[in-house]
Structure 1
């Protein structure tokens, strides 16, 4: 068995495409961790910088085709521009890629996704990982360079058996850089180099663990960014690297990360005192502890800086135009998109300055009231950012069920108690008692208001990591049909592998459920004795087929 990687970076382009100087730093960082005997331990890691079309395609063909065996692990990393033709076909731009006078790509000057798909499909290797650090649409911020401006269906063009395809953004988002390494690549490398990507602490980093770590870190800084992973069968569980076990630096990093995540990076003086004591307890030097603290808190610092920028923009806009016009509202909404901030992120700012950025058809201008002179800057209102108002998540129920306890448990991130509370409330909805389970027909006809309330609470407080609708998306990605029918063994097994309900071809027991955010996406709610044990495949398929999820 061999581990072979090809790292392609294109930083220099002809007319029509902007240069991307950060790609070389990306390549060097990825090469460093893959070649390390303690981390990636790849047998071969080749770099290809600024190739033309012929050179790039030839290198890709050789990567997948030359003397490969079934057990070989092949990894292809690409950092550069992604473009498309009029038919929506994805192409990877090279140094000689051209666009015509109308701005259309000259396909003969770029490497097509279909060509790459062909080489991957013909390869004897059953383990293939593709990392695309390029974008497929979007905008760019003031100090960031966009890498593309098109929309692509990545999964349809690059999915395949025995593969994992990782992308730095969705098909409608931009991947960007700040003159240095890409933010997505930065955290891929960090997750491998520090071992922090080993979510289940088994000493190994799998593809899905690595992606989940990088995605979480990216979203700490840019909440609207959505790095994605596409895989089938064992693709999610391909082993990429080793991770240290019992390493004091890794223990300190993970403990600090969990605390910082709860407070969105705003550690109190007592928190800092506690971690100073913890670092001494773990026998870390002061420089080591300071470096880890900086790395953990850095993406949050970026987020709060962005929110401060948005608040300053609001102040400037109000000074310039006290009664905001429709154009000014549009400007603020555009700036919000540039900063990659969600509506809930900027909500405290809008509440402080009493601004409504939503314009309906009956009102030409938003209602604006000047802020009080003594108001506290909204960028400091951490708890307001994290707590939804009753208007944001209404605890609706068709059966008069009280979901306030579930809300409070989720807000406190008591995932295990919230999981059990979900079980109890769902039983109450269908008129059953603790210890019982829900029948298939009851799930298919589960009241929509109650299902939406439960799902909205899980999705909101986990920041999109847990919830029935999250599980539904994964289920569909695995090939599940939305008809409530019994899913085939392969579909069900792949789904359970993805969400972590199966390990080494064996379904986990309740004692093995991971009740923290290191769990795989979609791992919760598990529901203990009924969401799996009670009705297994048929019932879960019925729930995930629900029309209102």
Structure 2
């Protein structure tokens, strides 16, 4: 019995098809885990790697892979690159020569037809054939992510058959992405991780079957990009083809699997934390190793939270710019949603927070502010609107004075980005927040505190954080942060990823506003701002004593 693999990665294309730098890196990663004696255990001589091949070279290599095989041979074909369909919906794998005509249609003689591969598979005597396709449809060529396919294709019909199993990075109607700044595409990353870490061996038999590998990668991909749905197609025993080995009794692997069992909604529960502490001691792992494993397991979910945050920030900017969103802006937001691989239900929750009509306001004194009878507090000329960066805080003051808490929250995000000179980037960084202009931070916080009668403000949130045992010494006081989120009304339960929709009136818990960032960045922003506020306050005390 022989084990043979052909790994094809195409990063360089003709004009009309976007370059995919990660495709060649995908192949190198696959080669590494397949040829490792404790993982794939493929002989070096039995792994063929093609980087940016021309069509004829690619087709000859595929034919060589399947021809002259024995029935028990394991044959693996891996492809990372563009997948394209012709006008009849037939799938082609793009080569470095693939071109499109003046109508953007595929020039078929420049690409490898799936039907050609199908014929080679059928003519092969091998009864164990594994196909892994990391490709989908093109069009998402925005900064930060690049798509890897062209249009809808029916992979099951075109590559299915007896004794075969086909793993795909997405369905026939979805994008598959490589992320800018990442070495590997999303799907291949977790295929490699499942083999390399041994984590895909869910039945602990020391072997990773194709279905186990698919299930591991599918779960991880959907944690990072829920809208992306890897699929598997198999006939007969294709599901159970053994593809790689996994260590048995390895402490780090055991802990990794334990972490996976303790994760709930992207977080480790309180009880789960106790379980992991005990298991860490039992397995003899250092704190550093345990933390590294936890971070690796939780990373896909954190990526998902970052994507949610990016969309929310884009929506806030659009609302601030237009008020009522134009059709063109909605189309752009839909495009961004596709690139971030967010589901419609994700977008619905974000839009509810950002553009839902504000609820009736209630003053702290008990007088209700209704839509029909609102008593506005006139802006005072005594407000200190100082700024070290020339930021105009007049609008923020007026919104707060009018009790327009939701609009004020959006405006707060805008002026903060302006103060740290990241308006174009649209994101906060730890370094920028830790060096936030002192005068600007005092202005923003004092306006919130004043016009809410001490009910809202960053300093109010900091006070609550300290009251539940939180500190600003560089350590992560998880329980204190979770208690803060409960007390200010951001969450109902600790250590859950689910946040409560904001309440933009003074009937909400003390410290509920400003929010600015919901999700994974909420704590990150507060921790940095609270630390900066301590420095600013200390600086003022020193100056007053001089």
Short-chain TM bin = 0.5 to 0.7
* CA distance in structure 2 between the partners assigned to 1:72 and 1:216 by the alignment: 29
Name structure 2 gaps, 5 residues minimum.
358-403, 410-455, 458-484, 502-546
Cα deviations by residue, 1:237-265 (Å, 9 ceiling, x for unpaired)? 111111122221111111111222x132x
The match for 2:506 is none
Cα deviations by residue, 1:432-457 (Å, 9 ceiling, x for unpaired)? xxxxxxxxxxxxxxxxxxxxxxxxxx
The match for 1:55 is 57
| Alpha-carbon contact 2:490-2:500 (below 8 Å) kept | no
Cα deviations by residue, 1:323-362 (Å, 9 ceiling, x for unpaired)? 3444444443333232211133344433333539xxxxxx
The match for 2:209 is 206
User: CA distance change for structure 1 residues 59 and 379 in 2, over 3 Å: closer, same or farther?
Assistant: farther
* CA distance in structure 2 between the partners assigned to 1:45 and 1:173 by the alignment: 30
| Alpha-carbon contact 1:195-1:250 (below 8 Å) kept | yes
- With structure 2 as the length reference, what TM-score do the two structures score? 0.64
* CA RMSD across the alignment: 2.9
Higher-Rg structure is: 2
**Superposed counterparts of 1:464-483, under 5 Å:** none
* CA distance in structure 2 between the partners assigned to 1:379 and 1:96 by the alignment: 57
- Three-state SS of the structure 2 residue aligned to 1:22 is helix
- Three-state SS of the structure 1 residue aligned to 2:303 is helix
- Three-state SS of the structure 2 residue aligned to 1:129 is strand
User: CA distance change for structure 1 residues 139 and 280 in 2, over 3 Å: closer, same or farther?
Assistant: same
The match for 2:220 is 217
User: CA distance change for structure 1 residues 379 and 248 in 2, over 3 Å: closer, same or farther?
Assistant: farther
Cα deviations by residue, 1:103-157 (Å, 9 ceiling, x for unpaired)? 1211111111011001100001000000011113553453011122211111111
The match for 1:283 is 284
Cα deviations by residue, 1:70-104 (Å, 9 ceiling, x for unpaired)? 00000000111111222111111111112222212
The match for 2:240 is 237
User: CA distance change for structure 1 residues 210 and 388 in 2, over 3 Å: closer, same or farther?
Assistant: farther
Give the Å deviation of 1:305.
0.8
Q: After superposing the two structures, state which structure 1 stretch, 40-49 or 57-66, moved more.
A: 40-49
| Alpha-carbon contact 1:349-1:379 (below 8 Å) kept | no
- With structure 1 as the length reference, what TM-score do the two structures score? 0.63
The match for 2:122 is 121
Cα deviations by residue, 1:380-424 (Å, 9 ceiling, x for unpaired)? 7597976999xxxxxxxxxxxxxxxxxxxxxxxxxxxxxxxxxxx
| Alpha-carbon contact 2:82-2:150 (below 8 Å) kept | no
The match for 1:335 is 336
* CA distance in structure 2 between the partners assigned to 1:335 and 1:20 by the alignment: 19
| Alpha-carbon contact 1:355-1:369 (below 8 Å) kept | no
User: CA distance change for structure 1 residues 100 and 38 in 2, over 3 Å: closer, same or farther?
Assistant: same
* CA distance in structure 1 between the partners assigned to 2:142 and 2:178 by the alignment: 10
* CA distance in structure 1 between the partners assigned to 2:335 and 2:84 by the alignment: 24
* CA distance in structure 2 between the partners assigned to 1:304 and 1:263 by the alignment: 11
- Three-state SS of the structure 2 residue aligned to 1:353 is helix
User: CA distance change for structure 1 residues 351 and 100 in 2, over 3 Å: closer, same or farther?
Assistant: closer
Give the Å deviation of 1:189.
0.6
The match for 1:33 is 33
The match for 1:21 is 21
- Three-state SS of the structure 1 residue aligned to 2:21 is coil
**Superposed counterparts of 1:354-369, under 5 Å:** 355=356
Give the Å deviation of 1:314.
2.6
Equivalent pairs counted in the alignment come to: 375
User: CA distance change for structure 1 residues 141 and 199 in 2, over 3 Å: closer, same or farther?
Assistant: farther
The match for 2:153 is 152
User: CA distance change for structure 1 residues 322 and 103 in 2, over 3 Å: closer, same or farther?
Assistant: closer
- Three-state SS of the structure 2 residue aligned to 1:245 is coil
User: CA distance change for structure 1 residues 328 and 336 in 2, over 3 Å: closer, same or farther?
Assistant: same
Name structure 1 gaps, 5 residues minimum.
357-367, 390-549
* CA distance in structure 2 between the partners assigned to 1:163 and 1:288 by the alignment: 39
| Alpha-carbon contact 2:491-2:498 (below 8 Å) kept | no
| Alpha-carbon contact 2:255-2:280 (below 8 Å) kept | yes
The match for 2:360 is none
* CA distance in structure 1 between the partners assigned to 2:189 and 2:221 by the alignment: 9
* CA distance in structure 2 between the partners assigned to 1:273 and 1:386 by the alignment: 22
The match for 1:167 is 168
Give the Å deviation of 1:321.
2.7
**Superposed counterparts of 1:245-256, under 5 Å:** 245-256=248-259
Cα deviations by residue, 1:352-382 (Å, 9 ceiling, x for unpaired)? 33539xxxxxxxxxxx994685698999759
Cα deviations by residue, 1:522-544 (Å, 9 ceiling, x for unpaired)? xxxxxxxxxxxxxxxxxxxxxxx
User: CA distance change for structure 1 residues 233 and 268 in 2, over 3 Å: closer, same or farther?
Assistant: closer
- Three-state SS of the structure 2 residue aligned to 1:258 is helix
Give the Å deviation of 1:197.
0.6
- Three-state SS of the structure 2 residue aligned to 1:317 is helix
- Three-state SS of the structure 1 residue aligned to 2:60 is helix
| Alpha-carbon contact 1:345-1:385 (below 8 Å) kept | no
User: CA distance change for structure 1 residues 127 and 352 in 2, over 3 Å: closer, same or farther?
Assistant: same
Give the Å deviation of 1:268.
6.0
